[in-house]
Structure 1
Amino acid sequence: MNIKTKLSLGLSFLFAVILLLAGLGAYYANRLAAESKEVLKDNYESLEYGKNMLQASEVFLLADTSAYPLAIKTFETNLQRQLNNLTEVGEQEITLSVNENFDALKKELVPKKDQGTVNSLIAAIRQDVFQLTDINMQAIVRKNNVAQKTADRVIMYLVIIGTFSILVTLTFIINFPGYIANPIRELSESIKQIANRNYEQRLHFAANDEFGELADAFNQMARKLDEYEHSNLARIMFEKRRIETIINNMSDAIIGLDEKNTILFSNNEATLLLGLTDADLVGKYAPDVALHNDLLRHLLSENGQEPLKIFDDGKESYFAKDVIGIKSPTTATETEKVIGQVIILKNITQFRELDLAKTNFIATISHELKTPISSIKMSLKLLRDERVGSVNPEQQKLLEHITEDSDRLLRITGELLNLAQVETGNIQLHCRQTLPKEIIQYAVQAIRFQAEQKQVKLETNIPNELPPVNSDLEKTAWVLVNFLSNAIRYSPEQASIIISAGYVTSASNRFVRFSVQDFGRGIDARYKDRIFDKFFQVPDADSIKGGTGLGLAISKEFITAQGGAIWVESELGEGSVFSFSLPVG
């Protein structure tokens, strides 16, 4: 039996109880009303007729015969009504006796004959009327007793039936809600257990209704979930959710794209930076979203290594962009292919602030060191002057070492100052139209003495028709000097170094390329991408000491500040070619 049927039966029972009580009340109320009506009709009217006849009989005792006709009419009318209302035992005989005596009385009254006969007839009539009245009074008392007994019986029946109905109804009210609520409560508790990954939970409803079906369906679901929980797919999904949780809790902004540039995921930090929601990103074609989002458009189009400046949390923040290509693993039948990419934005604001503080510190220290170093060089010059006094060979050797160290210190402080100027944006460029040949000659002249000391030959290859470039002569020559100094340092003795320049055109610009080629050991491919980083030196135990790791970094800043580009081409064991290009003026 289903729940709907049970509810219908329960409500039908309550409805039947209500109908029973209402029906009994209506039945007995109508019965009491009928009995009261019978009393009024049968007995009370007879009493009224008797009273009227008694009053009319009193007239006959008077000597005024003129009132007789009205009294006779009144008596006849009430007597006739009484003859039509014979309801009690003995009432008919008495009424007929009254009728006979009244007929005899009328004969004696008109004309009036013997008064004694009249009086005896009137006495007989009145005696009969009193008997009629007494019979009806007794009937009223009897019927009242019957009605009272009926009322008492009705009250008793209603009390019994009402008490029974109340008990049954209370039992229904107390038990039936529990019949509905208890399975629902048990189901709610079981659902909570399932939500807590307790898939061993089961429902047991001993009922052939919807709750029984619900229990069967719930138990089947729990079994399926238990099977799913212990399946490989469940473990995969669990690992997926764990990875998503890890990505969402990372402090770096992360955006994942597939090979078709569809956004696969984005963590909370990325959505905050982009000012979008997951619904705006996940599953959408990235270029379409980028049409309405400048930052995403910049992330998709720009491949530079410069930090991104983003206004975040009410201040300017700096982010380093890193794009990682995701490739499918190779198999015996498939080759490796790109299946997507991950864009990572690392917040480097704190590091940039520290770097700025470091730069200011280096600039201050370098500036302060130049004065004592200059004093040391002046002192060395005085010590070498014979007018101050002669020195022995050992002292002369010490002076040479001190001179080399002071030169090295001066060179380091100069490079640090240049780097600080570049990083703080305070570098002053004096760009003008300069011939490439002039720049190369300036650099070669500055480095010639160092090359002669190591017996390195400097070869130049400069076409005469090269156009002038828009550059700062001293800064550009300093870059070439740095290239040549490194080439001399890492070249063997009696080697050659080639300085060349050439004209290069592209779709939108024209450039002059400057190159310095040496034939030293070359650079390992692992380090070529970092060769222009600050303080980076190729890790080589046999490398010549003396470098600071700043020269190439400063060179890059000088060239890029003039709108040019700088790069290196090298193979291990085959030498290196350091190049930069400047736009034609």
Structure 2
Amino acid sequence: MYNVRTQFLIGYLILIFILMGVIIGGILQVRHLGTSVDRILKNNYVSVVAAENMKEFLERQDSAATFYLAGQVEKARKQYQFFRPLFAQAADVEAHNITEPGEQQLSDDIQRQFAKYQKAIERLLYANPPMPPEQARAYYFHVLEPAFLRLKQRAQDVLDLNQQAIVKADKRARTEARRAFWLGITASVLALGLALFFSYRMVNSTLAPLRSLVRQAEEIGAGHFNQRIEVHRSDEIGALARAFNRMAERLQEARRVEEERYQRAERMSEAALESLYDPVIVADAEGRLVHVNRAAEGLFGPEANLIGKPIDETIRDKSIVTALHKAIHQQSASVAEDEAGMVDLEYAGIPRTYRLRTTPMKAEGGELLGAVAVLEDITHLRQLDRLKTEFIGIASHELRTPVTSLQLSVDLLQEGTLGPLTPEQQEVVRCQKEDLQRLDRMMRDLLDITRLETGATPPRFEIVSAEQLVQNAVEAIEPQTKAKNLHLRVEVFPLLPPLRADPAQINRVLLNLLNNAVRFTPEGGQIHIKVYPKDEKVFFSVQDTGIGIPPEYLPRIFERFVQVPGVARSGAGLGLSIAQTIVKAHGGQITVESTPGKGSTFTFYLPVKEL
């Protein structure tokens, strides 16, 4: 029995001989037909392309004239300068490719008319002084446009002349092609009959045993690795069957090992989730719960009652549901560190505070699998923060009485009530008074921020005008800007919606930002105040050209007592923290952008809707 290679070789040799006969006949016919087609392309195609290009480049020059009439002078001149040489080049190609009777006269006429058109359009584009608009339009419609249409018609005449010649040559080529076509059909039918006969014989004798091989191989491909191929042959097909059997044995063993590894990894993952102290919620891409760990069961109930149900029905906290939907539908994580990321829940009847973090889960190919939410228990941190705030408030309040007494004593010393002071003593008393004033301001700020954070002084909301808020702040800061020769620019968008806010607190925020801008902007600098609406919010922006903030301080700039080193200290570093607390109490947010050496931009917004 011949091997598969020999069987195919014999069959292919027969087909090759048949194919060679058809190919040789076809080559002769194609060569003859190609000669006819080449005549068409050689004689007339160059002129057709040149005529099309002349029309297009001429229209571009006419567009330049219309741009000039529309007031775009530079654009018109650039476009004319670009397409004028292109038109001349196309006209030159046509002049050197005269193939038809009468084409020479058309080409000469195009050269003459283009010279006239060039002078006419340049008189419009480069007139000095420029034509008045009415005169320019009249010149275009009475002089330039008729010249454009005549020249375009001459290019069209060249195109029509060569296209007619191509049509005639095409008819001749088609007649020859039809004759070649029928000859080719006859030869091909004969060759096809012979090829089908030999192919049928070869396929039946060689490929019939492969049908059984394919059926059993499909079983293995479907995962039935216990299947074995039974083909008793000594040729290549038999060797292939034995290789398939060996592969199936190895795949069966690899699947067993992989299943054990997967089950072990799954058990470890579940054990890790169950051992976490923080509650974990896992949802699929459809928004259904697929897993909750033991800590989450203490918040939302047994896992058996939750699995497979929509998160909207099983999770009773709206902020968790919203964050999970955001991670699934928008594929964005939620890692807020402020109050927006805090969730208050009861665990075993005890109120606790959690920091919510959600993130989408994706496969290696980027396919969305679902989302996971982790609730970090920060109850002890909130308690520590509350104790710290209470301590600061009590300490600041208790210190005010002795500080006030010290200030009174310093005033008595300065006034000479207790006797005259030497110049040295007066300098010491003056320094003491400045330190006491700075200490008094810091205690007042600490008391204010404590009251704001504990809710002791909530905002006194009223309907206010954004324009009036800015005007009051600008009037208060204007003497400082003039004294420092700063350029203050105020930009307030018209028709701003009214706001529901505490005018005194918002005025304090604006004054704090403006005072910082004045303090850290050198003489001759600029301060830009901008108020504008966006997405049902009103944004307030204070931009300066001062020294800027180093990048490493930007994430902490709104924390208490944070001050940028290397600048003059004029406070305790509480102003921005107070401003942030006030803005958050109004339902807004404050942000900062800064480049060292170029300045800073502080922006906060207040919602238009009722809080």
- What is the TM-score normalised by the length of structure 1? 0.50
Letter in 1 for 2:292: S
Report what 2:356 is aligned to.
321
Provide the C-alpha distance between the structure 2 equivalents of 1:360 and 1:341, rounded to a whole number of angstroms. Answer: 39
Give the aligned partner of residue 579 of structure 2: 555
1: CA distance, partners of 2:574 / 2:325: 30
Q: How far apart, CA to CA, are the structure 1 residues paired with 2:454 and 2:262?
A: 50
Asked if 2 retains the 8 angstrom alpha-carbon contact of 1:570 and 1:577, the reply is yes
Q: Aligned-pair distance for 1:512? A: 3.2
Taking the TM superposition and a 5 Å limit, the aligned residue runs for 1:137-152 are none
Q: CA deviation at 1:562?
A: 2.8
Query: Aligned runs of 1:85-124 on 2, under 5 Å?
Result: none
Verify the 8 A CA contact 1:247 1:267 in the aligned structure 2. yes
Query: Which residue among 382, 387, 393 is the counterpart of 1:357?
Result: 387
Cα deviation, residue 339, structure 1 = 6.2
Q: Hey, what does 1:255 align to over in structure 2?
A: 281
Q: 1:369 to 1:512 in 2, by over 3 A?
A: same
2:312 to 290, 294, 301: 290
> Which of 403, 408, 428 is matched with 2:433 structurally?
403
- Cα distance change of structure 1 residues 375 and 230 upon mapping to structure 2, 3 Å threshold: farther
Cα gap change, 1:393/1:442 in structure 2, threshold over 3 Å: closer, same or farther? Answer: farther
Q: 2:473 aligned with 1:443, yes or no?
A: yes
Structure of larger gyration radius? 1
Letter in 1 for 2:469: I
Look up the SS of the partner of 2:457 in the other structure: coil
The answer (yes or no) to whether the contact 1:308–1:319 under 8 Å persists in 2 is yes
SS of the equivalent of 1:251 reads coil
Cα separation, partners in 2 of 1:501 and 1:275, compared to 1, 3 Å = same
Runs of 5+ in structure 1 lacking a partner?
A: 1-223
Q: Distance in 1 between matches of 2:422 and 2:485?
A: 29
Give the corresponding residue for 1:579: 603
Residue 434 of structure 1: which of 457, 464, 478 is its match? 464
What corresponds to 2:513 in structure 1?
Answer: 483
> What is residue 308 of structure 1 aligned with on the other side?
343
Q: Residue type matched to 1:297 in 2?
A: V
C-alpha contact 2:289 2:306 (8 A) present in aligned 1:
no
* 1:516 aligned partner: 542
Q: CA deviation at 1:479?
A: 0.8
Alpha-carbon distance change, 461 to 250 in structure 1, aligned in 2, over 3 angstroms: same
Quote the Cα distance in structure 2 between the aligned partners of 1:342 and 1:527.
Answer: 32
Counterpart secondary structure, 2:306: helix
Code of the aligned partner of 1:557:
T
Q: CA deviation at 1:427?
A: 1.2
Alpha-carbon separation, structure 2, partners of 1:248 and 1:299 = 22
Q: Quick check: 1:419 aligned with 2:445? A: no
Residues 1:469 and 2:507 aligned together:
no
369-378 or 418-427: bigger deviation: 369-378
Checking the alignment, whether the CA contact within 8 Å between 1:228 and 1:234 is kept in structure 2 is no
Residue 20 (structure 1) aligns with: none
Structure 1 residue 317: Cα displacement: 1.5
| Residue from 365, 376, 400 that aligns with 1:370 | 400
Q: Residue 447 of structure 1: CA displacement? A: 4.4
Equivalent pairs counted in the alignment come to: 345
Q: Do the aligned residues in 2 keep the contact of 1:271 with 1:278 (CA within 8 Å)?
A: no
CA shift, 1:475, in A, is 0.8
Quick one: percent identity of the two aligned structures? Answer: 32
Asked if structure 2 preserves the Cα contact closer than 8 Å seen for 1:261 and 1:340, the reply is: yes
Q: Secondary structure at the match of 1:378?
A: helix
User: How far apart, in 2, do the equivalents of 1:524 and 1:326 lie?
Assistant: 35
Partners of 1:386 and 1:553 in 2: CA distance: 40
Displacement of 1:474 after TM fit? Answer: 1.3
- 2:35 is aligned to none
CA drift of 1:552 comes to 2.5
Residue deviations 1:259-306 (CA, integer Å, cap 9, x gap): 66565543211222122405733xx47xx2323432352553586642
Pairwise CA distance, 1:384: 3.2
1:245 correspondence with 2:263: no
In 2, Cα distance between equivalents of 1:312 and 1:436:
44
Classify the secondary structure of the residue corresponding to 1:294.
coil
Q: What amino acid does structure 1 have at the position aligned with 2:347?
A: D
- 1:568 aligned to 592, 603, 609, which one? 592
Residue in 2 that maps onto 1:347 = 377
Q: Any idea what the Cα deviations from partners look like across 1:86-132, whole Å, max 9, x if unmatched?
A: xxxxxxxxxxxxxxxxxxxxxxxxxxxxxxxxxxxxxxxxxxxxxxx
Q: 1:383 aligns with which of 406, 413, 438?
A: 413
